[in-house]
Copies of this chain bind each other. A is one copy, B any other.
């Protein structure tokens, strides 16, 4: 969730030494106050394609993604769908103080989540204010990401949208692997063309066409349909429409 211009600073607020990965909910990473969280956590697994929570359902837990990819999606009555959240490992989902989720939470790949019963988590927040403080920071980061996403949806061209999404995923992926984002890098695209289109507010055909166009122009190389090589990350960034210093991280 961290907004940052370098991979290093992104990395710095994640914990890679434990399954939960995020310091806000990881007892091994931070103060003793968080040790109590360790005692009430539990893990849940979901198969690819499985819906974790339906829009409107009660969500009686909060959770952190350990492995895999999940999405938050809103659906209109006539079936139009817009993704509004992309959860990668270490991302948090759930809202203390709110009963039901206003959108579907779906596992895009096989997913393992580290969960806490909401009630227990809320009590913990009261007794250990550091958890709430950390959660506020994470929520503010997510709000920044959502606003960057709004710029993408409202004003970017299809090509810019695709380039932006690839840059986001490449960056997140690279940060987990501590790779160097300047220069070439390779990653697995964890989304189908359809999921990409729901992220970007496009149709899947347009996504496919623009992917082909970026391939023709040498911005990306598709080792397989899902495995992408970026020969020159800076060239990709030029296609995003963002000013050079940044872009966002979901």
Q: Which residues of A contact B (CB under 8 A)?
A: 3, 72, 74, 76-78, 80-82, 84-85, 95-98, 102-103, 125, 129, 132-133, 135-137, 139-140, 142-144, 146-151, 153-155, 200-201, 241-243
Which B residues touch A201, using CB under 8 A? Answer: 153-155
Q: Indicate if the CB atoms of A82 and B144 lie closer than 8 Å.
A: no
How far is it, in angstroms, between the C-alpha of A120 and the C-alpha of B95 when the chains are bound?
Answer: 27
Cβ–Cβ < 8 Å partners of A242 in chain B: 76
| B-chain residues with CB within 8 Å of residue A241 when the two chains form the complex | 76-78, 80
Q: A132-B132, A146-B147 known; A97 and B153 CB under 8 Å?
A: no
Considering the chains assembled together, what is the distance between the CA atoms of A140 and B77 in angstroms?
25
Q: Which residues of B contact A98 (CB under 8 A)?
A: 140
Give the residues in chain B near A147, CB-CB below 8 Å. Answer: 72, 74, 84-85, 102-103, 146
Q: Give the shortest distance, in Å, between A82 (CB) and chain B (any CB).
A: 4
| Total copies of this chain within the assembly | 2
Would you give the shortest CB distance from A134 to chain B, in whole angstroms?
A: 10
The 8 tightest CB contacts between A and B, nearest first, are A154-B201, A153-B153, A84-B147, A146-B146, A82-B154, A82-B151, A80-B155, A153-B154
User: Are B144 and A142 neighbours in the complex by a CB distance under 8 Å?
Assistant: no
The contact of A146 among B3, B125, B143, B154, by CB within 8 Å, is: B143
Distance, CA A196 to CA B52, complexed state (A) = 36
Tell me the minimal C-beta distance from A28 to chain B in angstroms: 24
A102 to B4, CA, bound (A): 11
Q: A76-B241, A139-B136, A201-B155 are in contact. Are A84 and B129 (CB under 8 A)?
A: no
Give chain B residues whose Cβ lies under 8 Å from the Cβ of A146.
Answer: 143, 146-147, 150
Query: Which residue among A3, A72, A151, A243 has the maximum number of chain B CB atoms within 10 Å of its CB?
Result: A151
Which residues of the partner chain B approach A3 to less than 8 Å between Cβ atoms? 102
29 examples of A-B residue contacts, CB within 8 angstroms: A3-B102, A72-B147, A74-B148, A74-B150, A76-B151, A81-B155, A82-B150, A82-B154, A84-B151, A95-B140, A96-B136, A97-B137, A97-B140, A98-B140, A102-B147, A103-B147, A125-B133, A129-B129, A132-B133, A132-B136, A139-B143, A146-B146, A146-B147, A146-B150, A149-B150, A150-B153, A153-B154, A154-B200, A155-B201
